[in-house]
């Protein structure tokens, strides 16, 4: 069965842990929203965060599939929020002084986000009410907002901040080169 395309201009797509639900940014009627859509069966689009006055973007579903984090500028600056998933109910603000590009920890108890050239780890208590118990800077920049975290949370991949210095390295037959380098290191 072939999935239908989203009816809106979809970008920045994340696949939920169920492997059948896509979360994406939708641009239509002058707004930027976070929506979801099943990739199988009848394609129904659901609004997750859709304020007519805000840019809401970069939705990321928690690894357990119960929450979604996203950024919104509804307050006048980008902040990180969490809602229930897939219904989009509730809203908990995670960042306290701005934030962008949320990334979940493997166990969904920490939400990382970028803030002014640093990465902040927001520790979450997922009791009856979701709340932030601590915010700690875990990586200091300078780097661009794009980043990712290793599954065990011990390493971060970041893009350097100096965009004026771009170097592209092409390694043809890279697997052979990797084997050569790792064999020499033994």
Residue 51 burial (CB < 10 Å; 0-12/13-18/19+)?
A: middle
pTM here? 0.81
Sign of CA dihedral 119, 123, 126, 129: negative
pLDDT in tens, 125-161: 988 889 999 999 998 877 777 888 888 888 888 877 7
- Structure-token pair, residue 36: 């979801």
Peptide bond into 86 cis (omega under 30): yes
Q: Measured between alpha carbons, how far is 126 from 139 in angstroms, rounded to an integer?
A: 24
pLDDT surpasses 50 at 1: no
Q: Answer whether 70's CB lies under 8 Å from 34's CB.
A: yes
How far is 16 from 85, CA to CA, in rounded Å?
Answer: 10
Q: pLDDT digit string (tens) for 34-52?
A: 989 888 888 788 888 888 8
Contact 63, 107 (CB under 8 A): yes
Going from the N-terminus, what domains does the chain have, and what CATH number goes with each?
9-161 (2.120.10.30)
Within 10 Å of residue 44's Cβ, how many Cβ atoms?
A: 9
Q: How confident is the model at residue 169 (pLDDT cuts 50, 70, 90)?
A: low
- Backbone dihedral angles phi then psi of residue 143, each to the nearest 5 degrees: -160, 165
């Amino acid at each position: 069965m072939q999935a239908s395309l989203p009816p809106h201009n979809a970008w920045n797509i994340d696949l939920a842990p169920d492997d059948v639900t896509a979360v994406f940014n939708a641009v239509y009627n002058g707004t930027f929203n976070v929506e979801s859509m099943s990739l199988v069966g009848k394609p129904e689009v659901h609004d997750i965060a859709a304020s007519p006055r805000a840019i809401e973007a970069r939705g990321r579903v928690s690894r357990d599939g119960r929450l979604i984090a996203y950024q919104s500028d509804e307050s006048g600056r980008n902040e990180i929020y969490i809602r229930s998933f897939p219904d989009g109910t509730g809203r908990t603000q995670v960042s306290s002084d701005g934030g962008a590009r949320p990334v979940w920890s493997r166990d969904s108890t920490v939400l990382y986000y970028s803030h002014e050239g640093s990465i902040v780890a927001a520790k979450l208590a997922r009791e009856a009410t979701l709340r932030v118990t601590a915010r700690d800077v875990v990586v200091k920049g300078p780097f661009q907002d794009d980043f990712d975290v290793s599954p065990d949370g011990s390493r971060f991949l970041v893009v350097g901040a100096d965009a004026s210095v771009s170097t592209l390295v092409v390694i043809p037959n890279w697997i052979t080169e990797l084997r050569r380098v790792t064999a020499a290191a033994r």
